[in-house]
Amino acid sequence: MKRNHTFILLFAGAWLLTACNGTPATSKSTATDTAARLTAIDEDNFNFIVANDLGRNGYYDQKPIAESMGELAEEIDIEFVAAAGDVHHFEGVASVSDPLWMTNYELIYSHPELMLDWYPVLGNHEYRGNTQAVIDYSDVSRRWVMPDRYYTKSFEVGDSSTLRIVWIDTTPLIDKYHKEAEESYRDVAAQSIDEQLRWIDSTLAQADETWTIVIGHHPIYADTDKDDEERENLQERVDTILRKYDVDMYIGGHIHNFQHIRVPGSDIDYVVNTSGSLSREVAPIDGTVFCSSATGFSVVSASDSTLTLYMLDKDRHILHTIERTRQ
C-alpha cells in the first residue's frame, strides 16, 4: 500500500494543550506567532498506529479519534494498528459474538483505511470477561490478528533494517489481579508469571533487529493514582529484562493520558499512550519528559537510521515527539 508521496503532519502553532499540572499552557515547542510548524513522515518509513483504552461504545472522543486514525491512514502508509489493551470497557466480552464487538470496534473503526491488521494485547478490562474469546476473534475478523496472549513479530524497515515488536500480557504479571481473580479477573488464575517472563527473556535474547519495541497494557513508570503494586511488579519482573537486552521503547496504556518518561540507569523510552476515548489528568513525576491529558493516539515511524514516536491529539496535532537514532 505504499504511496508515492510524503505526507506532512501539521503541528499547529497556536493551539493550547493541557499541561501536566492540569492547566492550559502553550506547548514549549510552539513558536510565539501563529505560523505552523511542519513535520514530515517520510514515504519510505515503516509507520504504524498505537491506540488503546478505546471501548466506550462510540462515546466521549472515541468516534472522532477513530475518524482521525482513518484519515491519517488514508494520507500516509500505515502498516497496522497496535492495540495496547482495553479495547472493551468495562466487563470485557462474553464471546466472539458479543454485541460489544460491533459497538466498541467494528462499527467505530469502520474507515476503509483501517481495514488492515490490528495486533492487540489484553488489558485488565478484557480480563474481566472471556479473554479466550478475544484471542479467538482472530478467526472471525480478518483484521484482528492475535495469535496468543503474548507474541512477537519482526518487520523489514527501510533498505537494510528490521523492527522487532514484542507484545506482552501484563495483567497476569501483576499480583493484585491474582488476588482478585476469583471475584473479578477469573482468567488470570490460569496464567503463569514465570512462564511468560521466561518467554520474554528468551525472545529478547534472540532478537537481533535494528529496533526493538515492547508493547503491553500496563505502564512500567507513570504518574497515576492506581496501585503502586502495578508499577513495582512490572519494574521488578519486566523492566529488568528490558534493560538487560537494551530495548528501545516500552509502550503501555491503562492510565488514559500521554506520558514520556526516562529514568536513571536506563536508556529506554517509557511511553504511556493516551486513551482513544476518555482521558484523565496527569502530573509530572521524576523522569517525566512530557505529559498531557489530551485524548488521541500515537504513530511510530521507523527507518534505517531513526525510530520516532509521535503523540497526536484527537485532531492529529503533534503534541510530543520521541526520536532515537542509529549511526
pLDDT, one tens digit per residue, over 15-56 is 334 446 433 322 233 322 222 233 456 767 999 999 999 989
Strand partners, 154: 164
Q: In the prediction, which pLDDT does 43 show?
A: 67
Average pLDDT (154-183) is: 96
pLDDT score at 41: 65
- Nearest CA to 262 out of 233, 277, 284, 280 is that of 284
- State mean pLDDT over 133-143: 98
Name residues whose C-beta falls within 8 Å of residue 80's C-beta, 6 or more positions apart in sequence. 48, 49, 116, 117, 118, 119, 145
The DSSP output letter for 144 is B
Checking if the pLDDT of 83 tops 50, the result is yes
Model confidence at 138: pLDDT above 80: yes
Grid cell in block for residue 19: 499541561
Given this model, what pLDDT does residue 253 score? 98
Contact 271, 298 (CB under 8 A): yes
Q: What are 109-124's pLDDT values in tens digits?
A: 999 999 999 999 999 9
**pLDDT for 158:** 85
Q: What is the pLDDT of residue 4?
A: 34
Provide mean pLDDT across the span 192-220.
98
Q: Provide the 3-class DSSP secondary structure of residue 302.
A: strand
Q: Among residues 116, 213, 115, which one has the least CA distance to residue 155?
A: 213
pLDDT digits (tens, 9 = 90+) for 286-326: 999 999 999 999 999 999 999 999 999 999 999 999 999 98
Q: What percent of the chain has pLDDT over 90?
A: 83
- State percent of the chain over pLDDT 70: 87
The one-letter code for the residue type at 178 is H
